[in-house]
Chain A
Amino acid sequence: MTYLLYPGCSLEAGGSHYEVSVEAVFKALQVELKEIEDWNCCGASIHYVGGTELQTKTLNARNLALAQKQGGYDIIAPCSSCYIQMVKTAHEFDEEPELAAELNQILGEGGLSYSGGIKVRHVLDVLYNDVGLERIKAAVKKPLTGLKVAPYYGCQTTRPYGEYDSVEEPTSMDEILAALGAEVIPFEHKVKCCGSGIFFTEMDTCAPLVGDIIGEAAAGGAALISVPCPMCQMNLEIYQPRLEKILKTELDMPVVFVTQLMALAFGMDPNKDAALNRNIVSANEVLRHLAA
């Protein structure tokens, strides 16, 4: 099993613990990841301020063209914002011949071309549908028994095409967490938006969104929240002290990537492979009994 990895800008920085754990987990599951060479930014959710739709599609078409040149394997885009931008361009390219022609005219300016057909996949999609729960279960050495987890998918992870899971009520991460031995709590906010790309500049406006997500997880007894998106991880975690002031409530909720929990359950190193030392709201306390 070989895939092309599109890390996106955040996996190099704010989501570095996602990259570490994704690479460790896929290696353990014997899945080969090759980084797309010389990839560029996808435009994320804030692209429209500076660029037009066609310019944003150009950014994504360039990455698709590079992937095709590099073997044409399916692309894994771990960040939900990258995923949605790339999957959207891939779909529209395949479905709208006029747009495809325009994009190829544009790509030609940089000596590239794209003929369509490349599949863009999310980490959850590949884990659930290609690797499968049986192989994940077989790799578990230290089950996460007794760990109550709130599965937060975020808004963009399963949308807008619902290619691998329900856009309204996804279960892929629930099932992966259960396969690790964790107790998954019912979580109504699982696909409610956290504020996404405008959270940083509209924090007062978006604070209640995060407050509601963490609030429901805490009320349900969750020891931590599991996410598959670096932007959600950032929005839900790093601003907690500031959000406590805006919302006048206590938060203090660890927010970890599903792949960090997988690495831990696979018996891998909590820091080297699961990168738990990169979480600012520490999950060590709630995970301590599992390390034994």
Chain B
Amino acid sequence: MVMATKAYDKSFREEVYKNVDSGEDVKLCMQCGVCGITCPLRDKMTHGPRQIWSLIRAGKRDEVMDSPDIMLCTSCYTCKVRCPRGVKVIDIMHGLAHYALEQGIVPRAETAKFGKVFWDSIYKTGRVDETEVPMRYTLTAGPIHGLFNTLEMMDIGRALLSHKRMKFKLGPGIPPSKKIKGIKGLKKMLDKAQAMSPGKEG
């Protein structure tokens, strides 16, 4: 008699344990559901963290990597402080999002664009210029949409500028953002850290 059961595909969970930041923490989860229920955006999530861990263990690669939930974390740490097993819930969610993005899967387009501009600013200058980053982000929509987005954000920009909470800029890079003195060293460190990160050869 043939058994009507299918073996779990272990390859995806092994991939997560090896390549995703804090991925091995998924093993600690006992599926109590505290993380999902305490999430401020639980109503907006299809799966939530508990179900994501379950899908990882079940080998459901596509469901996990395509889930927009893995980029909906606000980093509030409520799940982290309430998890009875001390799972690094946020680090895994961020790790999964990073892993998906590296493979060209974009769970949430706008946050991905903004995050990229944000990180590029850190890598190039060591800091984040709060005037420059939103400017560059609005332009990721292309020149026409970018212009509309800029006009839409104009009221907020003007209010911040007139209340001395934003520096004046004619455009992205004009005048250029200041770099920290140790930018060369910082870049070397970030490159080294990337080479040493999970899933990287180095």
Q: Return chain B residues, CB-CB under 8 Å to A10.
A: 130
Name the residue of chain B whose CB is nearest to the CB of A52. B197
Interface status of B151 (Cβ within 8 A of chain A) = no
Also in contact, A40 and B186, with CB within 8 A (given A49-B115, A54-B196, A109-B192): yes
- Does B189 have its Cβ within 8 Å of any Cβ on chain A? yes
In the complex, B127 has a CB within 8 A of chain A: yes
Is residue A155 contacting chain B, with contact meaning CB distance below 8 A? yes
Say yes or no: B116 contacts A50, CB within 8 Å. Answer: yes
Given A48-B115, A54-B196, are A241 and B155 neighbors across the interface (CB < 8 Å)? yes
Q: Which residues of A sit under 8 angstroms from B200, Cβ to Cβ?
A: 52
User: Which residues of A have CB within 8 Å of B115?
Assistant: 46-50
Report Cα–Cα, A4/B138, bound state, in Å: 35
Cα-based distance from A241 to B188 in the complex (angstroms): 43
Q: How far is the CA of A45 from the CA of B181 in the complex (A)?
A: 24
A278 touches B163 (CB 8 A): yes
Contact A112 B98 (CB under 8 A): no
Q: How far is the CA of A234 from the CA of B71 in the complex (A)?
A: 21
Are B159 and A16 in touch, CB under 8 angstroms?
A: no
* Smallest beta-carbon distance B108→chain A, Å: 7
A50 touches B165 (CB 8 A): no
Contacts of A17 in B (CB 8 A): 165
Assess whether B189 is in contact with A156, with CB atoms less than 8 Å apart. Answer: no
B189 in contact with A155 (CB, 8 Å)? no
Chain B residues within 8 Å of A199, by CB: 74
Task: Tell me the smallest distance from the CB of B97 to a CB of chain A, in Å.
Answer: 6
Q: Is B190 an interface residue (CB 8 A)?
A: yes
CB distance from A196 to the nearest CB of B (A): 4
B28 at the A interface (CB under 8 A): no
Q: Per-residue 0/1 for B90-102: is the Cβ within 8 Å of any A Cβ (1 yes, 0 no)?
A: 0100110110010
Query: A249: CB under 8 A from chain B?
Result: no
Q: Is the CB of B98 within 8 A of A58?
A: no
Q: For B131, list chain A residues within 8 Å (CB).
A: 13
Please indicate the chain A residues that have their CB under 8 angstroms from the CB of B159 in the complex: 238, 280
- Measured between beta carbons, the chain A residues less than 8 angstroms from B193 are 52, 54-55, 57-58, 106
Contact B128 A41 (CB under 8 A): yes
Q: Does A117 contact B (CB under 8 A)?
A: no
CB-CB under 8 A for A198 and B111, given A12-B130, A41-B122, A162-B81: yes
B78 contacts A52, C-beta separation under 8 Å: no
- Chain B residues positioned under 8 Å from A110 (CB to CB): 182, 184-186, 188-189
Which residues of chain A have C-beta atoms less than 8 A from B41's C-beta? 205-206, 209
Q: Is B112 an interface residue (CB 8 A)?
A: yes
Residues of B within 8 Å of A62, CB to CB, are: 182, 186, 189
Q: Taking each of A102, A109, A111, which has the highest tally of chain B beta carbons within 10 Å of its own beta carbon?
A: A109
Which residues on the B side are within 8 Å of A160 (C-beta)?
Answer: 77, 80-81
Please measure, in the bound complex, the distance between the C-alpha atom of A278 and the C-alpha atom of B60, giving whole angstroms: 50
**A 166-182 binary contact with B (CB < 8 Å = 1; else 0):** 01100000000000000
Known A106-B193, A160-B80, A278-B165; contact A53-B74, beta-carbon cutoff 8 A: no
A164 to chain B, nearest CB (A): 14
In contact, B155 and A109 (Cβ under 8 angstroms): no
On A, residues with C-beta under 8 Å from B are 9-10, 12-17, 38-41, 43-55, 57-59, 62, 81, 84, 102, 105-107, 109-112, 155-156, 159-160, 162, 167-168, 191-193, 195-202, 205-206, 209, 238-239, 241-242, 277-280
